[in-house]
């Protein structure tokens, strides 16, 4: 083609309509999507981010007064629900699942977006407010607020003529707009999940989900059952016993009183594990002779099977726990997509699995489940429409960098700069890099891929590198520069000088951080 011909083609290209992308949510994933959409194709994109609150940050924004917790038991064997009773506009959506001063369980340098580190001088495991400030600064640095419509609730979405009709509600009322692509980044902490326990209506004490927990001082003199042994369950039991690592009103008095023998707080805690013979994944084991004194006071028990006629909790081994004042359900959340309740393609390809699906928790009343149906092999694109993406679905993966990587992939696909994602093998574990090798599009799997998936550090690395390798450009297929120098001068824990990240494969220092994360947290925070 001559230079004249090339010049003649430019105006038509310039007249091409920008790709309209709608993003639901301005938390860590939504901000990542906005930044990457602009980075990949700023001149090709018309971007709108809908945020139902008046601020960025999503779940990292603290709500000091969540109000009463209303627990509704299920009668059909499905999970129960907890809801914020004083949140009438969004009764199933918590305003915040955070308690002030919460510290991350992930080191800040592997939690941060690529090449956007936390400010120097913070703890390696920063407090909640530091994370929120980090997200605020990220939004300001990339000038993202001008693309965000705050206090705007997405009511309904429906696909028509390969476009998405998005109906929103704000102070001016309802309106509908058309978009070429839709990104759901509203987060996983949507519907507080409570397991279905037979005859829970007989329980005479108080129940609350961990999303309502704010301070241990509310529980003086109580017998408490904390159900769950992951992050929130361990945080709450630790604080109730005096192993506090954060500031809250009355913390000095609380810690002083817990050090007495017997503790003057007069708190008795039973922690209900799903697998009581296994140690907790996030904290000290109360049965370990080397555990701190506060930890040894936690009484480990098995799952609750039912509630007796006198209100006592009956455990799997037959033990009865009577006169329990409070049950704290540290049992996680379900993913909710309330704006996809009708119309196509959701009727023929529903996102929420049916009740009774093996290994999947489903709450049909809230249109919520622990996993979504009809997603692609990467748990990123909806199979019913190639222009619908859900960010951050894989559990137990470092959130910010993953959301940023998924966002970059989605932006490239939306803008036609890379093909749709390939099929992968279902017969190999998630931690096997060969699982993620591209397969023919007509390859049919014998079973759904995401029914029983669990990501650990090795699975995270394999998934991350495979997704990164699909990106256009040579960086995605290379090791980071400076890796050799790092390997020669680090202590095996990610303490060396970090090489530049860019869009390279999973760096060795990240591997070190993931492998040694628990011991680093214990050295830094004491648990």
Q: According to the model, what pLDDT value does residue 482 have?
A: 85
End-to-end, the C-alpha distance of the chain in Å comes to 66
Give residue 9's pLDDT band: very low, low, confident or very high (50, 70, 90).
very low
> Which phi and psi angles does 409 have, rounded to 5°?
-60, -50
Q: Which residues of 424-440 are buried (b: 16+ CB within 10 A; e: fewer)?
A: bbbeeebbeeebbeeee
**Taking 70 as the threshold, does the pLDDT of residue 192 lie above it?**
yes
Taking the C-alpha atoms of residue 224 and residue 484, their distance in angstroms, rounded to an integer, is 52
**Taking 60 as the threshold, does the pLDDT of residue 3 lie above it?**
no
Give residue 85's pLDDT band: very low, low, confident or very high (50, 70, 90).
low
Taking the C-alpha atoms of residue 215 and residue 326, their distance in angstroms, rounded to an integer, is 14
Q: What is the pLDDT of residues 327-356, one digit of tens each?
A: 999 998 888 887 876 778 888 899 988 888
Q: What is the pLDDT of residues 275-321, one digit of tens each?
A: 888 888 767 889 999 998 999 999 999 999 999 999 999 999 999 99
pLDDT, mean of residues 37-47: 95
Taking the C-alpha atoms of residue 505 and residue 508, their distance in angstroms, rounded to an integer, is 9
CB 192 within 8 A of CB 211: yes
Give residue 451's pLDDT band: very low, low, confident or very high (50, 70, 90).
low
Q: What is the pLDDT of residues 232-262, one digit of tens each?
A: 898 999 999 999 888 889 999 999 999 898 9
Taking the C-alpha atoms of residue 389 and residue 85, their distance in angstroms, rounded to an integer, is 31
CB 10 within 8 A of CB 37: no
Q: According to the model, what pLDDT value does residue 31 have?
A: 98
Q: Within 10 Å of residue 369's Cβ, how many Cβ atoms?
A: 26
Give residue 498's pLDDT band: very low, low, confident or very high (50, 70, 90).
confident
Q: Considering the chain, what percentage of its residues have pLDDT values greater than 70?
A: 90
Q: Within 10 Å of residue 85's Cβ, how many Cβ atoms?
A: 13
Give the range among 37-51, 83-97, 408-422 with minimum mean pLDDT. 83-97
Residue labelled with tokens 């809908």? 50
Taking the C-alpha atoms of residue 129 and residue 60, their distance in angstroms, rounded to an integer, is 8
Tally: H helices and E strands in the chain: 12, 22
Any residues with CB less than 8 A from the CB of 74 and at least 6 apart, and which?
A: 80, 81, 196
pLDDT, mean of residues 80-104: 65
Show the domains of the chain with their CATH numbers: 17-65+99-191+333-472 (3.50.50.60), 198-329 (3.50.50.60)
Taking the C-alpha atoms of residue 508 and residue 484, their distance in angstroms, rounded to an integer, is 10
**Taking 70 as the threshold, does the pLDDT of residue 427 lie above it?**
yes
CB 159 within 8 A of CB 176: no
């Amino acid at each position: 083609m001559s230079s004249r011909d090339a010049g003649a083609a430019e105006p038509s290209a310039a007249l091409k309509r920008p790709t309209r992308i709608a993003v639901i949510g301005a938390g860590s994933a939504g901000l990542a999507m906005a930044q990457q959409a602009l980075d990949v194709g700023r001149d090709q994109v018309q971007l709108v981010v809908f945020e139902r609150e008046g601020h960025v940050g999503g779940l990292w924004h603290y709500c000091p007064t969540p109000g009463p917790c209303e627990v509704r038991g299920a009668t059909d064997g499905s999970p129960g629900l907890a809801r914020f009773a004083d949140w009438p506009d969004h009764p199933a959506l918590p305003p915040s699942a955070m308690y002030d001063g919460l510290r991350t369980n992930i080191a800040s340098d592997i939690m941060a977006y690529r090449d956007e580190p936390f400010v120097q001088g913070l703890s390696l495991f920063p407090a909640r407010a530091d994370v929120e400030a980090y997200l605020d600064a990220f939004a300001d640095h990339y000038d993202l607020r001008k693309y965000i419509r705050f206090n705007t609730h997405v009511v309904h979405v429906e696909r028509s003529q390969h476009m998405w009709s998005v109906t929103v509600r704000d102070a001016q009322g309802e309106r509908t707009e058309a978009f070429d692509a839709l990104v759901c980044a509203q987060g996983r902490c949507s519907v507080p999940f409570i397991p279905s326990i037979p005859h829970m209506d007989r329980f005479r004490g108080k129940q609350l989900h961990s999303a309502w927990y704010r301070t241990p001082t509310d529980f003086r003199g109580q017998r408490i059952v904390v159900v769950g042994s992951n992050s929130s369950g361990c945080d709450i039991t630790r604080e109730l016993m005096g192993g506090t690592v954060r500031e809250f009103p009355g913390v000095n008095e609380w810690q002083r009183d817990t050090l007495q023998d017997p503790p003057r707080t007069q708190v008795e805690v039973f922690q209900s594990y799903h697998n009581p013979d296994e140690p907790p994944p996030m904290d000290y084991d109360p049965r370990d002779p080397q555990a701190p004194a506060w930890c040894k006071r936690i009484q480990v028990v098995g799952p609750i099977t039912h509630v007796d006629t006198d209100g006592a909790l009956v455990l799997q081994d037959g033990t009865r726990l009577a006169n329990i004042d409070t049950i704290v359900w540290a049992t996680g959340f379900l993913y909710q997509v309330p704006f996809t309740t009708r119309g196509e393609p959701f009727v023929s390809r529903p996102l929420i699995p049916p009740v009774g699906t093996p290994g999947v928790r489903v709450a049909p009343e809230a249109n919520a489940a622990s996993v979504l149906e009809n997603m692609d092999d990467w748990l990123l694109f909806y199979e019913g429409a190639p222009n619908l993406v859900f960010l951050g679905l894989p559990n137990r993966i470092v959130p910010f960098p993953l959301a940023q990587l998924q966002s970059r992939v989605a932006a490239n696909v939306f803008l036609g700069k890379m093909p749709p994602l390939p099929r992968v093998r279902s017969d190999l574990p998630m931690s096997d890099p060969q699982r993620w090798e591209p397969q023919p599009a007509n390859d049919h799997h014998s079973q759904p891929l995401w029914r029983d998936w669990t990501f650990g550090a090795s699975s995270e690395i394999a998934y991350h590198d495979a997704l990164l390798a699909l990106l256009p450009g040579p960086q995605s297929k290379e090791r980071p520069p400076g890796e050799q120098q790092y390997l020669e001068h680090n202590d095996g824990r990610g303490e060396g000088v970090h090489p530049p990240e860019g869009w390279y494969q999973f760096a060795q220092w990240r591997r070190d951080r993931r492998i040694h994360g628990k011991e680093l947290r214990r050295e830094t925070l004491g648990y």
